[in-house]
Amino acid sequence: MKLRFLGTGTSTGVPQIGCTCPTCISTDQHDKRLRASAIVTVGDKNLLIDCGPDFRQQIINAGAPRLEAALLTHSHYDHVGGIDDLRPYCYSTDNGFPLYCKPDVAEDLRNRVPYCFRKHLYPGVPTFDIHEISDKPFAVGDIKITPLPVMHHKLPIVGFRIDNFAYITDAKTIPDETFRLMEGIDTLVINALRKKEHLSHMTLDEAIAAITRIRPRVTYLTHFADAIGRQAEIEPTLPPGIHMAYDNLTIEIP
């Protein structure tokens, strides 16, 4: 298994428009962050995790690989705003490109892009085959996936576990049961917005506390704001086994 980080930024991306902080004016490519998304590859199958407004640029940067389906954590724009750009992947399917998401996300998508779900579709629009998931494990082909319920302030959202890998983004709190669902994982991806307190996202210290409880072999932090600081300055300060992810980083998952 392997994972490619398509984007590691928060909703504004980094640099943020109009900002002249040290992170935003950095010339280090590690500090250029598109909206958070990833591709997890299991065998010869690629699963997209979230599809934000930078998806077109991200997937071209990745070489436009074949995608089996998309797993959506929640319906905030920075995680689903690129849905329309999946249309090239829709043309090779009979029933539409598969999306796996909670019922509230499915409802939001039908309201946001209604032209994709009408009975009489306009020629050429993207079409989707929505699979509504619960908190119970499900499968995409022969890939077993376990939803990981977390709270994004007051909004219930999900991360995903595949074998010994877990991906969580936009979490502020993690229920005890979800910690249990992550027992024994090897590789963790988890959000760490910035150092300063935030209403709906974990801070760096909160993420480290969660990692300490989960006890993975290795962790990659993602979904950064510019306020996290520059990669070259923050990475060396992290505890052993914890790293800052960056756009286009590819990792192997044992």
How does pLDDT run across 177-197, given as a tens digit for each residue?
999 999 999 999 999 999 999
User: Got the DSSP string for 25-59?
Assistant: T---GGG-BPBSEEEEEETTEEEEE---TTHHHHH
CA 68, CA 76: separation in Å to the nearest integer?
A: 22
Name which residue leads in pLDDT, 95 or 194. Answer: 194
pLDDT 10s digits, 146-160? 999 999 999 999 999
pLDDT 10s digits, 53-62? 999 999 999 9
Residues 235 and 244 sit within 8 Å (Cβ to Cβ): yes
For the chain, give the percent of residues with pLDDT over 70: 100
Q: What are phi and psi of 28, to 5 degrees?
A: -75, 125
In the chain, where are the structural domains located? 2-252
Residue 108 has pLDDT above 90, yes or no: yes
Question: Order of strands, edge to edge, in the sheet holding 187-191?
Answer: 138-140, 143-152, 155-162, 165-167, 187-191, 218-222, 242-244
First and final C-alpha spacing in the chain: 7
pLDDT at residue 13, rounded to an integer:
98
- Assigned architecture for domain 2-252: 4-Layer Sandwich (3.60)
Rounded average pLDDT over 28-35: 99
